[in-house]
Amino acid sequence: MRDGSAPQATIQRAKATLVRAVNDRSADASWTSIEDIYEAEFENLWRSLRRLGVPEPQLEDAVQEVFLVAHLRLHTFDRSRPLRPWLFGIAVRVVAEMRRRRRRDRPQGPAAEALVLEALVGPEEALSARQAQALVDEALGVLDFDQRTVMVMHDLECLSAPTIAEALSLSVNTVYSRLRIARGKVTAFLRRKRERP
């Protein structure tokens, strides 16, 4: 029935676009040292690294590594640009390097699939954060790292495609195409899970 109000999806999309616009432009130049950045960004970076698939036991080292690299590269950072995408770009490279090493050190086992999804019986809103997390972990686990990175940046970190492109040195079209593939895979995965829990 049409009552003149915008459909939910449109509102949601407008909201996301707005958040992205704010995230893209919030060049917070109030910091003066890497320690200021650490204080302000630690929690966010921790979460970003989890989203990128860093296993829990390696999170601490990964965070440390990102801040150290950021420290070494801080003099190359353009302060008129927003900090967060830049930091995220470093995080992506650090995680990629960790993954390479892990692959080299020991073969990658299958994802701990058994952990998940027993709980996915009720409606979505009944899921606890932990269950939702396990499910999202698993869903993002079906993506390759490049796709995952783009989807995390766009749909979880709420950054715009042009900002992602800049942070990762990609073309905007590549960002969109990876994002499309990633979303398709994740949505299909979740649909399958719901049909055959």
Partner 1 sequence: MSQGDDEELEPLGPEVTALLGAAYASPPPAGVKDRGRSRLRAGIAASAAIVATAHSARVAAGTPATMVTAKGWLIAGTLSLGAAIAGGLAIHHARVWVRPPAPLAPSNLGHDEHQVAAVASTLALEQALLREARQAIAAADLAAANRLLDSHEQRFPQGALTEERETLRIIIAARAGNLASARARADVFRRRFPNSIQLPVIDHATLPRPGRR
Kindly list the residues in this chain that would bind partner 1 in the complex (CB under 8 A): 8-9, 12-13, 16-17, 20-21, 24, 32-35, 38, 42-43, 46-47, 50-51, 59-65, 67-69, 71-75, 79, 93-94, 97-98, 101, 124-125, 127, 129-130, 132-133, 135-137, 139, 155-156, 160-163, 169, 176, 179-180, 183, 186-187, 190
Least Å distance, CB 68 to partner 1, is: 5
- Alpha-carbon distance of 156 to 84, in angstroms, equals 13
Least Å distance, CB 38 to partner 1, is: 6
Least Å distance, CB 112 to partner 1, is: 16
Sign of CA dihedral 65, 67, 71, 73: positive
- Are 37 and 87 in contact by the 8 Å Cβ rule? The answer is yes
Q: Of 114 and 129, which CB lies nearer to partner 1 in the complex structure?
A: 129
- Alpha-carbon distance of 162 to 176, in angstroms, equals 9
Q: What is the DSSP letter of 117?
A: S
- Transcribe 122-138 into DSSP letters: S-GGG--HHHHHHHHHH
Least Å distance, CB 155 to partner 1, is: 6
Two structure tokens written together for 58: 């390696």
The one-letter amino acid at 197: P
Q: Of 144 and 191, which CB lies nearer to partner 1 in the complex structure?
A: 191
Least Å distance, CB 159 to partner 1, is: 8
- Alpha-carbon distance of 184 to 188, in angstroms, equals 6
Q: Of 113 and 125, which CB lies nearer to partner 1 in the complex structure?
A: 125
Rounded to 10°, the helix 83-105/161-168 angle is 60
